[in-house]
Amino acid sequence: MTQENNKYLFQVNLKGMIELLSEHIYSAPNVFVREVLQNGMDAATARRTIDEHHQGEINIYINKVDGLPQVIFEDNGIGLSENEVHQFLSVIGQSSKRGDFNEKDYIGKFGIGMLSCLVVSNEIIVETRSLIKDEAVCWKGKADGTYTVERIENMEKPGTRVILHPKKEWLPLFEKAELKKNILYFGNALPITIRLISDGETEMLVDKTPVWLSPESTKEELLSYGKDAFNINFLDAFPLHSHAGEIDGVAYIMPHKVQFSGSKQHKIYLKRMFLCEQANNLLPEWSSFVKCIINTNELRPTASRESLMDDEIMKEAKKELSNSFKDYLKVLTLKDTGKLGEIINIHHMFIKALAVEDRSLLKLFVDYIPFETNKGHIPFVSIKSYNEVIYYTPSLDDFRQIRRIAGSQGKTVINAAYSFEADLIQQIKITFPEIKIEKITPQDILDTLADVAVSEDEAYMRFEKRANDLLKQQYCKAQLKQFDPVDTPAIYVANDEAMSNKNLQSLSTAGNPFAATLQNFIKKEDNMPTLCFNKDNEIVKNLIAIEDEPLFNSIVHIMYVQALMLGGYPVNKKEMTVFNDALYQLLVMGMSNFLGNMGL
């Protein structure tokens, strides 16, 4: 037996292919509208290669046949000959556009688009007359994999008609309002005339270049279009362009804050046919503060035609689109600083991410960038005017601990715990070496607190010993300090190592078989969180003089947990129990004294 005799052809289960399309490739059944419009657009494009003055048209008819709807998509494109019908309509995966010298001008290329019609219709009828061979044929394809072809005489002009009768479950898609909505959804930007004809009435749906693609559109027209497209009153709009991928479009600035990780919905078109709402890997990560309408003529779609392929052209396009954003912001620094300030005030998180990436932009608008500080949210231009040295902390817990004490010492501290802020601070230090910026920790604040000569006062010595004996159970040590503001009775100070030791100590006392081994991971026994009592505070003064042990213990425990809460530290179950018990004891003692004074 020869090798040729061992060769066989694969068999295709068309019904299985249709299920694959409907359930896994296409996200919704209405994509048949896109696919038929696409074929009509490509047919008109092909005809223009022969007649450059040809004006493409697609007319969509809604008829009633035996009481049931019938929809006809009719174009005046190049049409198909009988041989082309067999070659392109009857062979799955064979596209009439693939391999053409003008292939990049066409929208479709995978050869599976017409199958989407079999998702919503049991049969596809295609009547077509070829411009080149001047012959007309009717092709009928069914979901069972069979098709027929016959010559017809009822088409006088070149073009194609696609005739569909809906399946019962998809009747709503063929109603006039729904069909019109889907035609505009997919085809509103196509460079072709599209009409919808029903009950003797003709409605023009598409006949001109959309506002967002016209270089002559005013800012007001762009903003008005953006409001209609997204139902949002945008803050501003600016053009987008990339030579790579032949991309043009418009970016709209959101008028309110948005989440960095929030859903990024745009409108992406391929050769002016709507493709998808996601611009994955096309727009820079920090661009979530805009919504974009974009058309690309060269980026490649996936087989489903519902996303773009991430390739080298897209990577280059992403760089060029990033530059469009940057150029827009640079122009604002020269022409509209008020608008720039408004954008940065609302979207400072994204602008910070951009500034980290581009040092030239950082130089331009660093003064406008706001930061959270112990003096409120203020722009950097104000921050650098307050002190010779600017302090920052990359830890939110540390910022909560030190903000009030640092403020009483006249220090300005930036909370750099948010996304990109620590990196941005480093870029500012490198870009502006004349500005003194230093990291600060709770330990630094602790070291600045004035020491109290405890050893010279017996009452102070006794207070510290009693407090330390009590707080040792919470893995905390007590120190008597002197600091402002005086109305702060105590602060809880702990660096990362101290907190780690505390957590390990807590776990090592838990009832599990591995608890005992955790004690070995504690780095330094003396590195414990510290509760600093303010010697000049009125509560602390009275506390030092208290002899009653239950009363002393209750007040210390309450001050300990209160300091934890004010510092933004987590309060565990054991500490909460201690707090509740102490509060209960205070209430009992207070009521007992009150009743005793009344002689009851």
Q: How is residue 375 written in tokens?
A: 């003096």
Give the mean pLDDT of the chain: 86
Q: pLDDT-derived band of residue 525, with 50, 70 and 90 as boundaries? A: low
The C-alpha angle 343, 347, 348, rounded to 5 degrees, equals: 100
Tens of pLDDT, residue by residue over 179-209, are: 999 999 999 999 999 999 998 899 999 999 9
Which of 64-73, 290-299, 422-431, 562-571 has the least mean pLDDT?
562-571
Residue 414 has a pLDDT of 95
DSSP 301: B
Mean pLDDT score, 76-84: 92
Q: pLDDT-derived band of residue 477, with 50, 70 and 90 as boundaries? A: very high
Q: How is residue 497 written in tokens?
A: 């190592």
Burial label, 285 (beta-carbon count in 10 A; 0-12, 13-18, 19+): middle
Q: pLDDT-derived band of residue 510, with 50, 70 and 90 as boundaries? A: low
Residue 511 has a pLDDT of 53
Mean pLDDT score, 237-260: 94
Q: pLDDT-derived band of residue 291, with 50, 70 and 90 as boundaries? A: very high
Give yes or no for residue 275 having a pLDDT over 80: yes
Highest mean pLDDT among 93-97, 399-403, 531-535: 531-535
Q: How far apart are the first and last CA of the chain?
A: 117
Tens of pLDDT, residue by residue over 145-177, are: 788 999 998 898 999 999 999 999 999 999 999
Residue ranges at the known binding site for ATP: 35, 39, 75, 160, 305
Residue 298 has a pLDDT of 93
Mean pLDDT score, 528-536: 92
Residue 16 has a pLDDT of 60
Tens of pLDDT, residue by residue over 49-78, are: 999 999 999 999 999 988 889 999 999 999
Mean pLDDT score, 566-575: 85
Q: pLDDT-derived band of residue 509, with 50, 70 and 90 as boundaries? A: low
Short-list 242, 270, 274, 267, CA closest to 252: 267
Residue ranges at the known binding site: 35, 39, 75, 160, 305
Residue 312 φ/ψ, nearest 5 degrees: -65, -35
Cα 239 from Cα 385, distance rounded (Å) = 37
Tens of pLDDT, residue by residue over 214-243, are: 999 999 999 999 999 999 999 999 999 999
Helix (H, G, I), strand (E, B) or coil at 504: helix
Neighbours of 473 (CB within 10 A): 10
Q: How is residue 102 written in tokens?
A: 């003008």
Give yes or no for residue 94 having a pLDDT over 50: no
Cα 86 from Cα 131, distance rounded (Å) = 17
Q: Which residue has the higher pLDDT, 94 or 418?
A: 418
Cα 567 from Cα 549, distance rounded (Å) = 27
Cα 27 from chain centroid? 21
Give yes or no for residue 516 having a pLDDT over 60: no
Q: pLDDT-derived band of residue 99, with 50, 70 and 90 as boundaries? A: very low
Positive or negative, the Cα torsion across 413, 417, 418, 422? positive
Give yes or no for residue 546 having a pLDDT over 90: yes
Starting at the earlier edge strand, list the strands of the sheet with 490-493: 450-451, 477-482, 530-534, 490-493
Going along the chain from its start, the domains and CATH numbers come out as 14-206 (3.30.565.10), 211-340 (3.30.230.80), 369-446 (3.40.50.11260), 449-494+529-597 (1.20.120.790)
Mean pLDDT score, 133-147: 86
Peptide bond into 485 cis (omega under 30): yes
* pTM score of the predicted model: 0.76
Rounded percentage of the chain residues whose pLDDT exceeds 70: 86
Residue 106 has a pLDDT of 47
Strand segments, DSSP code E, in 426-540 are 436-439, 450-451, 477-482, 490-493, 530-534
Write out the DSSP string of 11-23. P--HHHHHHHIII
Residue 26 has a pLDDT of 62
Q: pLDDT-derived band of residue 141, with 50, 70 and 90 as boundaries? A: confident
Give yes or no for residue 335 having a pLDDT over 70: yes
Q: Which residue has the higher pLDDT, 571 or 62?
A: 62
Mean pLDDT score, 512-524: 49
